[in-house]
Amino acid sequence: MSVSADLAKQKAIDLGFNIVGVIRAEPASTLEAYFRWIEADMHGKMGYMARPDRQIRRQDLDVILPGVQSMLLVGLDYRMFGPSEDLLHDPSRGRIAAYSWGVDYHDLMTPRLEKLAGWLQSEIGSVSHRVYVDTGAILERAHAQQAGMGFIGKNTMLIHPRRGSYFFLGEILLDVEFDTYDQPGRQSMCGTCTRCLTACPTDAFPEPYVLDARRCISYLTIEHKGMIDHALRPLVGNWVYGCDVCQDVCPWQRFVIPSQERAFAPIDERHVAPLLTDLLAMDAAQFQAWYHASPIYRIKRARMVRNACIAAGNWGHAAAVPHLQTLLTDSSPLVRSHAAWGLVKIEGADARRKIMSVYDSEQDPDAKADLAQTLAQLA
């Protein structure tokens, strides 16, 4: 028995999703490119991207859901317009990527997809399914392109020609067939444009359609758990969680449709562009109070303060110095080492004495090595 694709799509729209596509459950068209990306170590420390069992799942969706026949994909707009450009670009503030201005999208989309799967079950009886929102071993942007939901840009983002790229993706794997399936969208509509490639502050695109995550600000501020490369720190600017540069400069963003999801509206300025001095002074309780409902919560306090130390160093203002000096004795070695770097960026050689006062007593080997590298810059 086949399912009506039109009815399923309409139900998805009724549940609040903005784009819907239905395809057969087949390997992604970019599978070989993914293997080359892994082989080149461009996934950085994201070990889950290269795990053998995850690679197998991306090759054969039947491993994820035995008997899988179809994939229903959805898109949900998230971009909100309201925060001023002056606020976003204020160097005394830490900038946060637009996708995390509101509540955690996983918490919003996953229940809706489960509800959609439940509706399908009520329509045709027994249905086996798996729901994912940015969590499964699935190359979802490639699958969405095959479902006609957009094209892959040179910045590796999925871009819809009538709404840009500011939308989340989610999918349901199903063991049922649909009566019709969508046709692939165009492979690319970028033409000769290279704005995203040239605008990237860290030069994270070694070539069009290839992202080296090891240089990407989003990876560095979110996924990367350790010390950030000294050479990249000045290039991060005031980003403290994610980055929107390669999306913001894309000409297709002129078609962006503001999200109608009130839950994605900025909770307050701390979710858009918090004062760096507030972030530097933030303890674990404050971090939880401010960000418990946000995607930001996943990186915890230490990584957020690490990022703020870098942004403060790039800001270069003396107002950050007392906070950075206090953080030299923070409980987190990650914070201690990056606070030292921020101090040197602001005070130069005058920071040597402050850093030397904690260097000898530093017990964490990674932090000590990072402190030594920071001190070497003063030699």
Three-state DSSP class for 20? strand
Ramachandran angles phi, psi of 75, nearest 5°: -125, 145
Euclidean distance between CA atoms 125 and 3, whole angstroms: 11
Question: What pLDDT was estimated at residue 126?
Answer: 86
Residue with the two structure tokens 């962006």: 256
Burial 165-181 (b: 16+ CB within 10 A, else e): bbbbbbbbbbbbebeeb
Residue with the two structure tokens 């990249």: 232
Residue with the two structure tokens 């606020």: 87
Does the active-site annotation cover 134? yes
Three-state DSSP class for 125? coil
| Domains of the chain from N-terminus onward | 2-78+104-178 (no CATH), 280-379 (1.25.10.10)
The upper half-sphere exposure of residue 134, i.e. CA atoms within 13 Å in the direction of its Cβ, equals 13
pTM score over 0.85: yes
Per-residue tens of pLDDT for the chain, all 379 residues: 688 999 999 999 999 999 999 999 999 999 999 999 999 999 999 999 999 999 999 999 999 999 999 999 999 999 998 889 999 999 999 999 999 999 999 999 999 999 999 999 998 888 999 999 999 999 999 999 999 999 999 999 999 999 999 999 999 999 999 999 999 989 999 999 999 999 999 999 999 999 999 999 999 999 999 999 999 999 999 999 999 999 999 999 999 999 999 999 998 999 999 999 999 999 999 999 999 999 999 999 999 999 999 999 999 999 999 999 999 999 999 999 999 999 999 999 999 999 999 999 999 999 999 999 999 998 7
The Cα-based distances of 75 to 136, 157, 160, 233, 318 in angstroms read 16, 13, 10, 33, 44
Check: CB of residue 140 under 8 Å from CB of residue 134.
yes
Q: Which own/partner contact pairs does 355-358 have at CB distance under 8 Å and 24+ positions apart?
A: 355/328, 357/328, 358/328, 358/329
User: Which is catalytic among the residues 134, 175, 278, 364?
Assistant: 134
Q: Give every CB contact of residue 184 below 8 A, 6+ residues apart in sequence.
A: 29, 145, 146, 147, 148
Q: Could you tell me what percentage of the chain is helix, strand and coil, using 3-state DSSP and rounding each to the nearest 5?
A: 50, 10, 40
Q: In the 3-class helix/strand/coil scheme, how is 49-73 assigned residue by residue?
A: HCCHHHHHHHHCHHHCCCCCCEEEE
Amino acid identity of residue 33, one-letter, is A
Question: What pLDDT was estimated at residue 1?
Answer: 65
Amino acid identity of residue 91, one-letter, is P
Q: Give every CB contact of residue 135 below 8 A, 6+ residues apart in sequence.
A: 106
Helix (H) or strand (E) holding 115: helix 105-124
Three-state DSSP class for 75? strand
Euclidean distance between CA atoms 117 and 61, whole angstroms: 18
Check: CB of residue 3 under 8 Å from CB of residue 124.
yes
Question: Which region holds residue 348: left if phi is over 0, alpha if psi is between -120 and 50, else beta?
Answer: left
Euclidean distance between CA atoms 337 and 364, whole angstroms: 10
